[in-house]
Structures are given as C-alpha cells and as structure tokens.
Structure 1
Amino acid sequence: MIRPSLMKLVEPTTRIAVDVTFLRMDKRPADPGAPLPEGLVVEQLFPRCGVPLYRELYATVGHEYVWWLRRTLSDRDLDALLSDRAISIHVLRDAEGILGFYELDRRGWPIMNLAYFGLYPRGMGGGIGMALLRHAIAAAWKEEPAALTVNTCTADHPRALPNYLKAGFHKLRTVREEWPVPDRLGLPIPERLKI
C-alpha cells in the first residue's frame, strides 16, 4: 500500500490541441494605420501593473479563448514577472473604464514580442481592435527593435490571425501543441479543441 504522503496528486485537466502560428514583423509599417477613435486612450501602467489588475485583464480578455497559462502562476511568481522592467502593460480605456490591453515583452531583445493582446467583450465589434493593434505596433517600433513577434492559435478569436497579417506581420510557422488546461480554472473549452 502506498502511503498518502507519497502519492503524487494529479490535477484534473482537459487536454486540448491547438495550432499555434508564430508571426514576425521585420520593419516598421510604412502606413501608421488609423489612430484610436476620439475618447479612447492607451495608458502604460508605470512603473508596473499590479497582480490584481493583471489577473482581471488576463481573465476578462482571455476567458473565451482558453488563456490559461498565466492563471496557473502564484501571486508571487506573477508579481516577479510583472516586476521585470522588460515587460510593459498598456491599457485601453474610455470614459467608462477598461476596454482592452496589450503586453510588450523585451526579454528577448533586440527582438520584441507582443506577448498578449485583446479587447474586453464590451470593446468588441466596434472596429477598435485594429486601431489598438496598430498602437501596440507603433509603441514597439518607437524603441527600434530588430523585429517584432507575436503568436496566435486556433483557440483565439477567429479575427486574430487575419488582423495580424493585415497589420503587416508574416507567418513564420504553425505547429500543433497539446495543452493540459486545469479544470479548476473553469474556462469554457470549445469541443473542437478537446482531445
């Protein structure tokens, strides 16, 4: 008999399969794109984003798209990540509050990564997604990286990949990944992704 203290506890998960597309932009776009609509502003959270707000941003934007990985981090680990000066969080707001955010990651400098990007549900459908994406791209290129990268997957919003391509990114590769999404997160997982 195995003593309970020696048993390895396994967290219940739902296994999913996604196709992850990695994209890259090697030069600043010639066309700056449309500005943000009047009444919208992007604010860089400085000197850093706190854990509670980041958890709200990540959960609100990513709930329907199986954004799970950062939800599994402890507050301490997430705080350490957000304290890294190479990472910046930028929040889109209107008079009523937050509409979305993006995260720029410089840890692989001179290549910068658009690590996370998305809108709150109330910000969707009004055409502001592309304006926010172009804002993120412009903010990244102001720092003159060698390249800007981003990735998306088949769990993301269906317009994500077409919008990245329209904004000037090009595909590097697409790979199939399997993820063990912890059931305790309570994420709605589309049947099409389940293994």
Structure 2
Amino acid sequence: MPEILDYAKPAPGEATERAHVTVIFLRMMARPARPKIVLPEGVAVTRERLDLASYRALYEEIGTPWLWWLRRVMPDAMLERHLAASTLSLHLLRVGGELAGFYELDAAHWPYINLNYFGLRQSFIGRGLGRPFLDHAVDVVFEGATALRGMTVNTCNADHPRALPNYLAAGFREYRRGDEVWDIPTRLGFTIPEHLRR
C-alpha cells in the first residue's frame, strides 16, 4: 500500500489503538514462465469504476479482518481523486455474477506497477479463487507492457496467513521488511489481534 500516512491519519487528539506491524515488500521483475491463466467456469474479472460509496463498502467489508484502515480515514474528495486517476485501475472478481473480490493496480510510480490492494469477500475465501485471481493480476500487468520494469506489492503480518505464501508462489520475491506502528482510530471499530499488540 503505497499510501502517504500524512494524507490519511487520525484526527488530532482522537482515540486510537496501536498495532505493531511488520511490512513485507515484494516485487516481480518478469512474468513467470507459465501459460496465461484461464479462470474457472463461471468466474470473470472485469475492469470497472465504482462510485465512492460502493468502493468504500467493498473496501471495508474485505479489509476489516486485515486492518485495512488508511482508505477509511481518507477524506471523500481525496479518495475520489485517487480512484479517478488515469494511472489507477480497479478489477472486480465475480463468481456466478456475484461480486467476490477486487484488486487495484497503480502505475503512478512507473516503470513499476503496484498491486495496491487484493482481497476476497469472506464467503469466497478458501474456495480456490485467490491464486487464479492473483495470477490474473500478474497477467494484466505484464501483458503488452513496454518499458515496464516490474510489479510490486506489500503485505504484512496483519494480513491473511496465506497472503505471503501466495505472493511467493505466484512469483514475487521479498526484498525488504520494515516494522511500522499503526495508530488506528478507535471509531473504525477494529479488533487488534493479540500478535500485533505489545
């Protein structure tokens, strides 16, 4: 998540809960030598624009278990500008027509493209969709791209336990780790897992 905390942070003096998080930075410099992904029958990925309310609802639903909080404290005007940027693309996963998840690609730091967010709705986790959906994102980034140097993504120990193994299996390689302290506004209603408390 290449977000600037100065733009998305608690209001001065508001109550927060602290999480101590290890962030893992990964990159992929070339598309893996595998066939282009073929999604299972009834599964489709479409590039779409969502209105602000729909985006916020999806972000909150998918991200709440994993402490996705930065976008939730971004002012509406700021988030609208971000979502409207020409460098950003939003890709929605549908299973039998039902919205199952999304990923977000950001080329603001070209010649790298960052996978800002990647997630599934809770009812679709554990159904074998994560890996083909991730491979789809990789294919979209590398297909036809010229002068692209690589694809990046961050994960952390607040994320789903399978996130890092899945990124590594898809062809990403870790290049750095860093410890961060997140002061998350209490009003957001998150439960901080014990392993992130000190």
TM-score between both structures, scaled by the size of structure 1: 0.91
Note if contact 1:134-1:167 (Cα within 8 Å) is conserved in structure 2: yes
Aligned to 2:111: 110
Task: State the alpha-carbon separation in 1 of the partners of residues 110 and 37 from structure 2.
Answer: 28
Give the number of equivalent residue pairs. 186
Is 1:147 aligned with 2:150?
Answer: yes
Equivalent residue number for residue 156 of structure 1: 159
Q: CA separation in 2, counterparts of 1:60 and 1:9? A: 26
Is the contact made by 2:25 and 2:177 (CA closer than 8 Å) also made in structure 1? yes
Kindly provide the CA deviation profile for residues 106-151 of structure 1, in whole angstroms up to 9, marking residues without a partner as x. 0001110011001001111111100000000101112522100001
Question: Alpha-carbon deviations, 1:163-191, whole Å to 9, x = none?
Answer: 00000000011111101011100112212
Who is 1:68 aligned against? Answer: 69
Deviation of 1:95 after TM superposition, in Å, equals 2.4
Where 1:175 maps in the other structure, the secondary structure is strand
TM-aligned CA deviation for residue 60 of structure 1 = 1.3
1:180 aligned to which of 135, 158, 183: 183
Quote the sequence identity (%): 46
Instruction: Quote the residue 1:127 is aligned against.
Output: 128
More divergent stretch after superposition (90-99 vs 126-135): 90-99
Distance (whole Å) between structure 2 residues aligned to residue 54 and residue 143 of structure 1: 28
Residues in 1 aligned to 2:182 and 2:16: alpha-carbon distance in whole angstroms: 9
Tell me how far apart the structure 1 counterparts of residues 109 and 129 of structure 2 sit (CA, whole Å): 29
Query: How far does residue 52 in structure 1 lie from its aligned partner after superposition?
Result: 1.2
User: What TM-score does the superposition give when structure 2 sets the normalisation length?
Assistant: 0.90
1:32, 1:134 within 8 Å by CA — same for their partners in 2? no
Task: Check the 8 A contact 1:99/1:120 in 2, yes or no.
Answer: yes
TM-aligned CA deviation for residue 33 of structure 1 = 6.1
The 1-side partners of 2:101 and 2:144 are apart by 22
Tell me how far apart the structure 2 counterparts of residues 143 and 109 of structure 1 sit (CA, whole Å).
15
The runs of 4+ residues in structure 1 deviating greater than 2 Å are: 32-35
Secondary structure (helix, strand or coil) at the match of 2:136 reads helix
Deviation at 1:88, TM superposition (A): 0.6
RMSD over aligned Cα atoms:
1.4
Per the alignment, do residues 125 and 33 of structure 1 end up closer, same or farther by CA in structure 2, a change over 3 Å counting? farther
Query: What is the rounded CA distance, in whole Å, between the counterparts of 1:130 and 1:187 in structure 2?
Result: 27
Please state whether the residue corresponding to 2:110 is helix, strand or coil.
coil
Structure 1: runs of 5 or more not aligned: 1-7
* Structure 2 unpaired stretches of 5+: 1-10
Which residue number corresponds to residue 13 of structure 1?
16
